[in-house]
């Protein structure tokens, strides 16, 4: 999938990522490195806070702030957003616990 995005959208995505970097902590890199490294303020989580969720959040925010819609983004989010899996597993766990409590009484 390929999108042609307006400058306002791009600037919003970049500003959102710059904000994440500014909130984090700079990590030392080898002398002469051509890059910088940062530890983000939030801890990494496989299901709730990772590179996919950060990028999807940045794109969602840019859509909201710029008014430009990325056609097909919702499909990518529906199929690839690990937060959906987390929510699904939590619902299953909650339902399983309720079922056990109905059958056996509270733990």
Q: Where are the beta strands (DSSP E) in 4-45?
A: 25-27, 37-39
Mean pLDDT, rounded, of the chain: 83
Q: What are the tens digits of pLDDT across the range 32-75?
A: 999 989 888 888 877 777 888 888 889 989 999 999 998 887 77
Contact 78, 85 (CB under 8 A): no
pLDDT at site 79: 66
Measuring CA to CA, which residue among 17, 96, 63, 58 is closest to residue 88?
Answer: 96
Estimate to the nearest angstrom the gap between the alpha carbon of 33 and the chain centroid.
28
Residue 102's pLDDT band, with cuts at 50, 70 and 90, is: confident
Instruction: Please indicate, yes or no, whether the overall pTM of this predicted structure exceeds 0.75.
Output: no
If one compares 29 and 83, the residue with the highest pLDDT of the two is 29
């Amino acid at each position: 999938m390929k999108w042609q995005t307006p400058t306002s959208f791009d600037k919003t995505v970049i500003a959102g990522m710059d904000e994440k970097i500014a909130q984090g902590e700079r990590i030392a890199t080898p002398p002469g490195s051509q890059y910088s490294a940062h530890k983000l303020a939030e801890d990494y989580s496989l299901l709730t806070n990772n590179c996919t969720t950060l990028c999807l959040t940045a794109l969602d925010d840019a859509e909201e702030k710029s008014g430009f819609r990325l056609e097909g983004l919702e499909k990518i989010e529906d199929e690839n957003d690990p937060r959906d899996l987390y929510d699904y597993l939590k619902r299953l766990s909650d339902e399983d616990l309720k079922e056990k409590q109905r059958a056996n009484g509270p733990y």
